[in-house]
Amino acid sequence: MTFVKTKLQLSKMAPGDILEILLTAGEPLDNVPRSIVEHGFQVLEVTPVKDNIYKVVVKS
Amino acid sequence: MAEKNKLSIICMSGDFDKAIAVFTLASGAAAVNYEVNLFFTFWGLNTIKKKRGRDFIGKGWLARCFNFLLGGRNKLPLSRLNFAGASPVLMTGLMKARNVATLPELFQASIDLGANFYACEMAMVVLGLTQDDLIPEVKKVLGVASFLEMSKGGQTLFI
């Protein structure tokens, strides 16, 4: 569902816009950035925010 | 150009938990660019009625009573431990608290990501329903032959 929400948000954004997503470690962090790249978007940054939570910066 | 992956789901159940399974799969598959075809039949039609609560809809008094008792999307029962409709409300609260997408969110995401909604012609005749009783996103009322043709070459699930 995290990727579903990400995809819906990215579809509303203009090319070049930046989206920040907070993901928990494990399945979401393993799969969402990979799916984002597979769908032609760019992952600019993945940084830990706090225990188990990561910020992923995406360029649409 | 490579053919698009395809997922077709026969949505027979009118249970809350099974509707969550349908729309989780539908939105997830649509998000990764699958063609998604949802074919609603019998109790599954409750999920896509325009009236979300209990309403006397349909043709004929028996069908109207049936549709009142079955209700719409807001009245789907849990398949086990429904407790007169209390459990779906509690389950939705639990899903929100745990940051998991709820049935209305999954339903809307499936629509927004372009899943195709179809209704079963035979079940609609039995329940006295017309396309006008269903949400506008329902593209067409189909029979089995058309659905089989549409789902050819992809994966098909029955829920």
Put simply, whether the predicted model's pTM sits higher than 0.90 gets the answer no
| B5 and A CB contact within 8 Å | no
State the pLDDT confidence band at B11, using cuts at 50, 70 and 90: very high
pLDDT value for B1 = 52
Q: Name the nearest CA neighbour of B58 among B50, B49, B67.
A: B67
Tokens read off for B157 = 């699930």
Q: Are B41 and B12 in contact (CB under 8 A)?
A: yes
Contact check, Cβ <8 Å, A5/B109: yes
pLDDT value for B3 = 73
Tell me phi and psi for residue A40, to 5 degrees: 90, 10
Q: Which residues pair with A19 in a beta bridge?
A: A58
Residue numbers in B near A4 (CB within 8 A): 27-28, 30-31, 101, 109, 113
Query: Is residue B46 scored above 70 in pLDDT?
Result: yes
pLDDT digits (tens, 9 = 90+) for B105-128: 999 999 999 999 999 999 999 999
Helix (H, G, I), strand (E, B) or coil at A58: strand
Domain of B77 in residue numbering reads as 6-158
Widest distance between CA atoms in chain B:
52
> How many independent structural domains does chain B possess?
1
Mean of the pLDDT values across residues A1-5?
A: 87
Nearest to A8 among B28, B33, B112 (CB): B112
Taking CA–CA distances from A6, the nearest residue in chain B reads: B31
Query: Is residue B38 scored above 90 in pLDDT?
Result: yes
Q: Is residue B1 part of a domain?
A: no
Mutate to test the interface with B, among A2, A4, A6, A23 (most CBs of B within 10 A): A4
| Mean per-residue pLDDT over chain B, rounded | 93
Mean of the pLDDT values across residues B48-57?
A: 92
Read off the CATH number of the domain in which B52 is found.
3.40.1260.10
Domains and CATH numbers, chain A: 2-59 (3.30.110)
ipTM associated with this complex: 0.77
Contact check, Cβ <8 Å, A3/B100: no
pLDDT value for B2 = 62
Mean of the pLDDT values across residues A22-36?
A: 92
